């Protein structure tokens, strides 16, 4: 199938599209949710602005970046500096951010439906919202996990204890420097060498379990979730399946967007819905069964739940 021709939200009216989504949602035999970064943005977990500033103003002063994506890819001078940034980022985006309302609403909304969630988000929000683990596949990793940097074996490690230990040591170090009058741009933002996490098997440094390159570890849990996801797909080739895409951008369309288009095209009873603020579109080939909503994911999920 070629994607040369698309329809966008400009071709439709939002009220019509929302009404069509309501019907499709109510009438669906099964719902596959594809969740991308826009869903976490709608939950309030932005990577820039006040949320960045609250924790990372010393990093802005020192390195010049102004958002957490850039902070995650910055080439830090040492491993201790790498972990100085990452322990605070994992703490802020995984252990101390609470649960986004839109995630809770969405999980409740499909609790008694034949639904499965596929997500590229790594912030653990579906798990925190009580989503059924057997119906959840997070393909790109999770902030809660470390892996060997080589990696020497396909396993991951829960990281909360190490993250909190690094962050609290760093907080104390920063407080000591501020008390001594060290200017913000000269602050030492590195964690103590003895806290740098090491692989328990080979002694190499651990790193985040996030799909950044081909060293990403797909552990036993990942493979089990992948198998359950593909089994769910296999058992839903036909029938009224709603492919509900929420906040999926253009970075990795091969994971959610293109497979959703292809599956919707193959099944004449399926509906494809693209909800995305600023980037809502669908292939013209399935225009009659496509819903395109240029809207905030939280507003749409709330509308489906009847809470607004």
Residues in contact with Zn ion by CB under 5 A are 148, 152, 199, 201-202, 204
CB 32 within 8 A of CB 118: yes
- 30: helix, coil or strand? strand
- Given the complex with Zn ion, which of 90 and 148 has the nearer CB atom? 148
Instruction: Provide the minimum distance between the beta carbon of 147 and Zn ion in the complex, in angstroms, as a whole number.
Output: 8
**Closer Cβ to Zn ion, 152 or 287, answer by number:** 152
CB of 60 to Zn ion, least distance (A): 33
> CB of residue 102 vs Zn ion: minimum separation in angstroms?
37
Compare residues 149 and 271 and give the one whose CB is closer to Zn ion.
149
In the complex, minimum distance from the CB of residue 202 to Zn ion, in angstroms, rounded to a whole number: 3
CB of 214 to Zn ion, least distance (A): 16
Residue 188 beta carbon to Zn ion: minimum distance, rounded to whole angstroms: 28
Closer to Zn ion by CB, 121 or 147: give it.
Answer: 147
Of 155 and 291, which CB lies nearer to Zn ion in the complex structure?
Answer: 155
From residue 265, how far is each of 242, 268, 287 by CA, in Å?
12, 7, 10
Whether 167 contacts 84, CB under 8 Å: no
Q: CB 164: neighbour CB atoms within 10 A?
A: 15
Three-state helix/strand/coil letters over 52-119: HHHHHHHHHHHHCCCEHHHHHHCCCCCHHHHHHHHHHHHHHHHHCCCCCHHHHHHHHHCCCCCEEEEE
Can you read off the two tokens belonging to residue 6?
């698309």
**Rounded Cα gap, residues 152 and 175, in angstroms:** 37
Paired tokens of 115 = 């639904």
SS3 call for 228: helix
Pick the closer one to Zn ion by CB: 152 or 196: 152
């Amino acid at each position: 199938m070629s994607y040369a021709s698309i329809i966008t939200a400009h071709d439709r009216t939002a009220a019509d599209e929302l009404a069509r989504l309501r019907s499709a949602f109510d009438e669906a035999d099964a719902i596959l949710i594809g969740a991308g970064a826009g869903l976490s943005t709608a939950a309030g977990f932005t990577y820039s602005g006040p949320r960045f500033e609250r924790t990372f103003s010393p990093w802005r002063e020192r390195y010049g970046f102004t958002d957490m994506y850039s902070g995650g890819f910055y080439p830090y001078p040492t491993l201790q500096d790498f972990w100085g940034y990452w322990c605070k980022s994992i703490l802020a985006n995984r252990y101390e951010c609470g649960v986004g309302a839109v995630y809770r609403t969405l999980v409740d909304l499909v609790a008694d439906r034949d639904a499965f969630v596929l997500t590229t988000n790594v912030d653990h929000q579906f798990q925190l919202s009580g989503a059924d683990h057997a119906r959840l596949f997070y393909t790109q990793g999770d902030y809660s996990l470390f892996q060997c940097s080589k990696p020497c074996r396909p396993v991951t490690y829960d990281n909360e204890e190490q993250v909190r230990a690094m962050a609290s040591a760093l907080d104390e170090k920063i407080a000591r420097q501020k008390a001594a009058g060290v200017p913000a741009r000269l602050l030492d933002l590195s964690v103590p060498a003895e806290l740098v996490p090491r692989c328990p098997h080979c002694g190499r440094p651990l790193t985040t379990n996030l799909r950044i390159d081909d060293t990403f570890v797909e552990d036993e849990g990942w493979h089990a979730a992948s198998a359950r996801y593909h089994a769910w797909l296999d058992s839903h080739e036909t029938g009224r399946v709603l492919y509900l895409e929420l906040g999926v951008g253009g970075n990795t369309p091969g994971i959610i967007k293109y497979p959703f288009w292809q599956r919707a095209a193959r099944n004449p009873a399926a509906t494809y819905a693209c909800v995305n603020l600023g980037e809502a579109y669908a292939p013209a080939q399935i225009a009659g069964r496509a819903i395109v909503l240029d809207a905030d994911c939280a507003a749409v999920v709330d509308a489906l739940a009847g809470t607004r």
